[in-house]
């Protein structure tokens, strides 16, 4: 297992394919890190599907409204169109590059529209640099992310079983 240096700023995400450990970047994107931790601590991500998974690009998840299996608004056809009941976040763009394992917030055309959805890069994606808020990096389990079922939309998608701040695990 990867060495967890800062449990308060590390996420442990159990998926239907296995465990992923993510180091958070609170200095880079404090608002986004705070939101990821808040939603994780509420259990909001538990049961959420990977609704958009594009080979050689990224795996997207985090729609806690329409993408949460067993949730009152779960709708596979609308997964990817929702967020949380919290306000959207102000962009925290940085020069940190989108490389393999980068965790970044998904958003609409509006730079300040990130809410709960996020993606993990399979490969380097330099065209995303300085346009999406990078909040973490996979430090263990990229093989798990690689194994997530692909599709746009995904048929019978993989999901997050639980997502916790390491300090709480």
Examine residue 1 and state whether it is found in any structural domain, yes or no.
no
Confidence of residue 3 (pLDDT cuts 50, 70, 90): confident
Is-contact 29 135, C-beta < 8 A?
Answer: yes
Per-residue pLDDT tens digits for 13-23: 999 999 999 99
Average pLDDT over residues 145-165: 96
CB atoms closer than 10 angstroms to residue 75: 14
| pLDDT in the model for residue 1 | 65
For residue 23, what is the domain's CATH number?
A: 2.40.100.10
- Percent composition of the chain: helix, strand, coil (DSSP 3-state, to 5): 15, 30, 55
* Domain that residue 138 falls in: 10-168
Percent of the chain whose predicted confidence (pLDDT) is above 70: 99
Q: Please report, for residues 74, 83, 97, the alpha-carbon distance to residue 77 in angstroms, rounded to integers and kept in the order given.
A: 9, 15, 32
Examine residue 2 and state whether it is found in any structural domain, yes or no.
no
Provide the number of structural domains found in the chain: 1
Examine residue 5 and state whether it is found in any structural domain, yes or no.
no
pTM: 0.97
Per-residue pLDDT tens digits for 83-126: 999 999 999 999 999 999 999 999 999 999 999 999 999 999 99
Examine residue 82 and state whether it is found in any structural domain, yes or no.
yes
Examine residue 4 and state whether it is found in any structural domain, yes or no.
no
């Amino acid at each position: 297992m990867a060495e967890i240096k800062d449990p308060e700023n590390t996420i442990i995400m159990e998926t239907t394919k296995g465990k992923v450990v993510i180091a958070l970047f609170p200095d880079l994107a404090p608002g986004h890190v705070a939101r990821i931790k808040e939603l994780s601590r509420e259990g909001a991500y538990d049961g959420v599907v990977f609704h958009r998974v594009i080979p050689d690009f990224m795996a997207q998840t985090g729609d806690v409204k329409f993408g949460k299996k067993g949730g009152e608004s779960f709708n596979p056809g609308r997964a990817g169109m929702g967020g949380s009941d919290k306000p959207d976040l102000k962009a925290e763009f940085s020069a940190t590059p989108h490389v393999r394992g980068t965790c970044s917030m998904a958003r609409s055309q509006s730079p300040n529209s990130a809410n709960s959805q996020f993606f993990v890069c399979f490969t380097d994606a330099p065209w995303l640099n300085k346009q999406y808020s990078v909040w973490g990096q996979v430090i263990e389990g990229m093989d798990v992310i690689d194994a997530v079922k692909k599709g746009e939309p995904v048929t019978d998608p993989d999901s997050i079983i639980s997502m916790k701040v390491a300090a709480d695990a």
